[in-house]
Amino acid sequence: MDKLVMINRTQERLLTVTVRSIYWERVNLYLKIDVTAHEGTVFPDELDFYLVNEKHEAKARFKAEDRAQDHALLLLQITNPGNCLCMPEGRYQCYACRGNEILAAAAIDSDLASSLLDVDRAFQYSAGHCSHSYTVSFSVGENEDDLRLIVQILDMVQSHIPRRIACRNAAVNLIKKMLSAYYAVSHRWYRFFSSRKRKKTILFLSEQTFEPSATMRVLYERMLQRGIDKEFNILFSLQKGEIWRSGPKYCLGALRKMARADQIYVDDRFSVFSWLTVAADTQLVQLWHAGAGYKSSGLSRLGSQNSPSPYGAHRQYDYGITPSAKIASFFSEVFGINTEQILPTGMPRTDEFLSAEHREEKTKELYESFPAIRGKKVILFAPTFRGHDQNDACYPYGMIDFDALYSFCGEEYVVWFKMHPWVSEPVPIAEKYSDRFFDMSKYPSINDLFYVTDILIGDYSSNVFEFSLMSRPMLFYAFDEARYSVVRGFHRDYRSSIPGKLCQSFEELLQALKDEDYELDKLTQYRARHIDVIDTGASDRVIDWIVLGKLPGEYAQRIACAKADYEKTASADFSCLDDLTDKGPDTGRC
């Protein structure tokens, strides 16, 4: 794209931009500004707001979330200003521009000056056994007539690393470089020596489990039904744990499959992509399902305990998928890619869940396998884990009053406990409760349990998405909401978005069950926001739009526009700011 040569008109005092407040939502930076036109009429919707570094390069353009005649709310996601990378280090000023005219530099309101340091953020994270801090701080220009806003971004690493750790890092990095080279050579070999008429290859890749996830399995089965395997080789490489730690045979085999693949589908974080660059002609797609939950994940957790690196594995995705365009931003924030790359295909696993044939089969199977539920209402207690990851995942069973719950059940209810797969400790069900309480944690699919579930008790998990399709009541037992919001974090307001009643003590939970107080109006709101289409066509949309490359024009256009939008930002040439001395109203053209 040709450079957009800017003209400096700041000294004409045509416009004043005043920052009234600065605040954060996770990795999203917001500026509330007032705009005053001193000559003529300039409306905020005619303006672009650039962050420009000391080299006079535009590295980001704010999005205006709320515009009016004299004010605007500006948004910048620091982990992705539009190019799917973090904001680079630098010292920035914010300029209001109309077309190629620089009209004003943003300055803070004097009332904000005393609290400016309070909005500095240090996002701590770990990478390569080193402690890092990605910092965003705010100050004002020292030699300006006004309180010109300065934004300073630094990525700092601890100054001293023990020799033992440094040696280990060097060895690990050497191994990763060798594996990356092996992948690159293998890829070139397959592309060069394979026949031009070769079948393209699809690879399902996971380091979470030895078995395909529900989403992968359902999508694969639909591919077979449609004969996609006649056009593509379809491969799997499934492992529990990072492949480079899984032994040479498996690791090299997985890398060979990756090198052959034209399309790679993953269903969660795949750590290899944090250090291995996928070939340019290989498409990488994330099928992760959990964006409909509440707990922060991926880059939305930047700065939290055990925060991932902002330069990690998610950056290379060509596409992600979502059940609704309205929540695509949840997914894009997690991955650090553009919202336009998150396609509202729906979730393939719901194709099976919504299948009348599958529902009938599994319902019959459940009643035959668990006759205790016949003639009873089923309460499914299905919380997420506590802890950092699968290595220390647990659940505080002491927060469940088994006596009181058993008494409530009487002859009307039974309770199924379905713990998160990472929680290894079984539910402590005493023998005296065994006629009404059942540990279903080993049951393979929680979705199948939903068919006979009358009430779901959850907390922060994404399982509420599938259950919402049943239009049945839910309760949310969030006894540790305050702690969880700090330690793990939420990617949206928890209280206002849950599709049911919030209970912060077990007494409240039991009372809600007794009163049948489920706040069902929240369920209606949840479904409207989280689900675009309720059908069994999600797998077909993934196949048509992504596998076969028949992306609907509106989505292809949005992706192209997002790319062009960032290219426009990067093309802006602010070199005319080299000389900001007062030379009168006509500063000339750059």
Q: Does the structure show a pLDDT above 90 at 415? A: yes
**Over residues 538-548, mean pLDDT:** 97
Q: What is the pLDDT of residue 247?
A: 82
Q: How far is CA 110 from CA 11, 105, 114, 219, in A?
A: 21, 15, 8, 57
Residue 333 contacts by C-beta under 8 Å, 6 or more apart in sequence?
Answer: 26, 27, 28, 77, 79, 298, 299, 300, 491
Q: What is the pLDDT of residue 271?
A: 87
Q: What angle do CA 264, 266, 270 make, to 5 degrees?
A: 110
For 43-89, the pLDDT digits (tens) are: 666 899 999 999 999 999 999 888 777 889 999 999 999 999 999 99
Comparing CA positions, the residue from 263, 309, 298, 254 lying closest to residue 127 is: 309
Q: What is the pLDDT of residue 91?
A: 96
| Complete edge-to-edge strand list for the sheet that includes strand 377-381 | 437-439, 413-417, 377-381, 455-458, 474-477, 501-503
Between CA 113 and CA 98 the distance in angstroms is 27
Written as one string, the DSSP assignment of 418-481 is: ---TT--SPP---GGGTTTEEE-TTSS-HHHHHTT-SEEEESS-THHHHHHTTT--EEEE-TTH
Q: What is the pLDDT of residue 303?
A: 82
What percentage of the chain carries pLDDT values higher than 90?
66
Q: Does the structure show a pLDDT above 80 at 489? A: no
Identity (one letter) of the amino acid at 147? L
Residue 49 contacts by C-beta under 8 Å, 6 or more apart in sequence?
Answer: 17, 33, 61, 62, 64, 72, 74, 94, 95, 96, 97, 106
Which residue is listed with tokens 């070939």? Answer: 279
Q: Does the structure show a pLDDT above 90 at 129? A: no
The stretches of 516-571 forming alpha helices (DSSP H) are 521-530, 538-542, 553-571
Q: Tell me the two tokens of residue 238.
A: 């499934």
Written as one string, the DSSP assignment of 489-507 is: -BSS-HHHH-SSEEESSHH
Q: Does the structure show a pLDDT above 90 at 436? A: yes
Q: How far is CA 78 from CA 60, 131, 147, 316, 566, in A?
A: 9, 19, 23, 17, 14
What percentage of the chain carries pLDDT values higher than 70?
94
For 351-374, the pLDDT digits (tens) are: 999 999 999 999 999 999 999 999
Q: What is the pLDDT of residue 588?
A: 39
Q: Tell me the two tokens of residue 13.
A: 């005092």
Comparing CA positions, the residue from 458, 386, 387, 360 lying closest to residue 416 is: 458
Q: Does the structure show a pLDDT above 60 at 492? A: yes
According to DSSP, the residues that pair with 151 across neighbouring strands are 92, 138
Q: Tell me the two tokens of residue 166.
A: 């440094």
* This prediction's pTM: 0.89
Q: What is the DSSP letter of 482?
A: H
Q: What is the pLDDT of residue 43?
A: 62
Rg over alpha carbons for the chain, rounded to the nearest Å, is 27
Q: What is the pLDDT of residue 40?
A: 63
* Three-class DSSP labels, 375-428: CCEEEEECCCCECCCCCCCECCHHHCCHHHHHHHHCCCEEEEECCCCCCCCCCC
304 or 473: which carries more pLDDT confidence?
Answer: 473
Q: What is the pLDDT of residue 586?
A: 42
Q: What is the pLDDT of residue 298?
A: 85
For 168-223, the pLDDT digits (tens) are: 777 888 888 999 999 999 999 988 877 666 789 999 999 888 889 889 999 999 99
Between CA 443 and CA 440 the distance in angstroms is 5
Q: In 106-186, which ranges are E strands? A: 107-108, 121-127, 130-140, 149-157
**Over residues 7-35, mean pLDDT:** 93
Q: How far is CA 32 from CA 19, 108, 177, in A?
A: 6, 10, 45
| Complete edge-to-edge strand list for the sheet that includes strand 232-238 | 232-238, 200-206, 263-266, 283-286, 319-321, 342-343
Q: Does the structure show a pLDDT above 60 at 310? A: yes
Mean pLDDT of the chain: 89
Q: Tell me the two tokens of residue 365.
A: 């199977």
End-to-end alpha carbon distance in the chain = 18
For 503-533, the pLDDT digits (tens) are: 999 999 999 999 999 999 999 999 988 888 8
Residue 552 contacts by C-beta under 8 Å, 6 or more apart in sequence?
Answer: 545
Q: Does the structure show a pLDDT above 70 at 416? A: yes
